[in-house]
């Protein structure tokens, strides 16, 4: 068979140029249809003679394009929601974590204060046990222990203060650098700090002496805390700096009308306004006047005692070293020691009741205000 007959038997194959042109036309037609669908301008099947699928094929293409479009939109929505959620969590987590951090910090501070108070209670309990043992030993050795109240008068009837002491908020206390320096947020914590200072100042050695000193410090701490929460109009409630600036000064003191004979006199008029109307009503011989005079004096000694801590905080005085073994002599112990301490307390000169009540005096000469 000749080459001509073989060539005639082969089917017609268009040239490469014609095939490329047909493929390009088909791709252009499909792209045009897709763009029309995306623009919403697709009106039905195109001309079948141009090689583009018509009828059911075009419907399938349209449905496929619509499905793809819906899928892409759904994916986009999921991505936007995911980003928005992550951003929201990031924005909301910061203050939440800060609040948790502050709560944890406050809880840790409270735990430390409770630990300190617990340790102090254990220490005081041990000292109280030692004191009782000492008294028991003294009784066994022949020393006579007085019954409670023996050797003292019946005591003065208590007269409650006629004013309201405001509750100090934690936020106000935390703004006071002096209180935060000593970690004081309550009268109990102030009692611990003031008691330790008094024990050191008086060089108390025996447990019973330390215990007695701390009991007196508790009264002074409570009086100062009341004074800090008293609304007098002379200083903002809770402002320690302003309280000391006024109470340790001489403002409103003198002999002119509207002035006060002393700070103790002024304080008594604040605490018992219906009873203390002038200086004579404070120094009267009645039982009520005696009680209010002693109570006002206790407030002043409490204020001066805490002011000593204030000066230590300011660096104006050093913390007392207390009793130093091998340096300070060991004091006597037992009933004789108690009598000696009582005699020393009676020999302590009272603060002169003039103007500032002797605020410039050494704290070692301040009466402890016991017996109230």
Q: Which contacts qualify for 54-58: CB closer than 8 Å, 24 or more apart?
A: 58/33
pLDDT the model gives residue 40: 56
User: Token pair of 330, please?
Assistant: 């060991």
Q: For 160-176, what is each residue's pLDDT tens digit? A: 999 999 999 888 899 99
Encode pLDDT of 309-368 as tens digits.
Answer: 999 999 999 999 998 988 889 888 765 555 555 444 444 334 444 444 443 333 333 333
Q: Compute the average pLDDT of residues 297-309.
A: 95
Distance CA 108, CA 112 (A): 6
- Are 64 and 33 a contacting pair, CB within 8 Å? no
CA distances from 240 to 27, 92, 127, 230, 279 (A): 88, 38, 32, 12, 27
Q: Which residues pair with 355 in a beta bridge?
A: 262
pTM here is 0.55
Q: Which of 309, 297, 308 is nearest to 351 (CA)?
A: 297
Most distant pair of Cα atoms in the chain: their distance: 157
Q: How far apart are CA 203 and CA 148, in angstroms?
A: 26
Supply the DSSP symbol for 235: S
């Amino acid at each position: 068979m000749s080459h001509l007959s073989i060539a005639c038997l082969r089917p017609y194959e268009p040239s490469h140029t014609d095939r490329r042109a047909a493929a390009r036309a088909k791709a252009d037609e499909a792209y045009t249809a897709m763009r029309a669908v995306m623009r919403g301008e697709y009106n039905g099947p195109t001309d079948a003679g141009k090689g583009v699928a018509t009828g059911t094929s075009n419907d399938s293409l349209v449905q496929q394009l619509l499905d793809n479009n819906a899928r892409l939109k759904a994916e986009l929505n999921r991505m936007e929601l995911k980003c928005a959620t992550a951003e929201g969590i990031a924005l909301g987590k910061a203050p939440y974590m800060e609040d948790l951090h502050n709560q944890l910090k406050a809880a840790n501070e409270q735990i430390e204060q409770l630990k300190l108070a617990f340790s102090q209670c254990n220490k005081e309990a041990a000292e109280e046990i030692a004191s009782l043992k000492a008294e028991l030993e003294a009784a066994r050795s022949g020393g006579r222990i007085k019954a409670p109240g023996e050797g003292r008068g019946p005591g003065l009837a208590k007269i409650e203060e006629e004013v309201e002491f405001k509750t100090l908020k934690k936020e106000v206390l935390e703004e006071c650098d002096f209180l935060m320096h000593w970690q004081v947020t309550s009268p109990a914590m102030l009692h611990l700090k003031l008691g330790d200072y008094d024990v050191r100042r008086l060089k108390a050695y025996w447990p019973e002496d330390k215990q007695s000193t701390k009991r007196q410090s508790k009264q002074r701490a409570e009086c100062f805390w009341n004074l800090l929460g008293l609304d007098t109009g002379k200083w903002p409630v809770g402002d320690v700096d302003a309280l000391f600036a006024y109470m340790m000064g001489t403002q409103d003191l003198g002999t002119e009308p509207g002035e006060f004979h002393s700070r103790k006199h002024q304080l008594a008029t604040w605490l018992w306004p219906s009873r203390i109307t002038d200086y004579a009503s404070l120094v009267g011989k009645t039982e009520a006047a005696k009680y209010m005079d002693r109570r006002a004096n206790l407030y002043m000694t409490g204020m001066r005692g805490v002011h000593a801590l204030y000066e230590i905080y300011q660096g104006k005085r050093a913390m007392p070293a207390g009793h130093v073994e091998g340096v300070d002599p060991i004091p006597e112990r037992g009933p004789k020691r108690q009598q000696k301490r009582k005699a020393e307390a009676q020999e302590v000169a009272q603060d002169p009741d003039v103007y500032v009540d002797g605020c410039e005096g050494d704290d070692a000469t301040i009466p402890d205000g016991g017996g109230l």
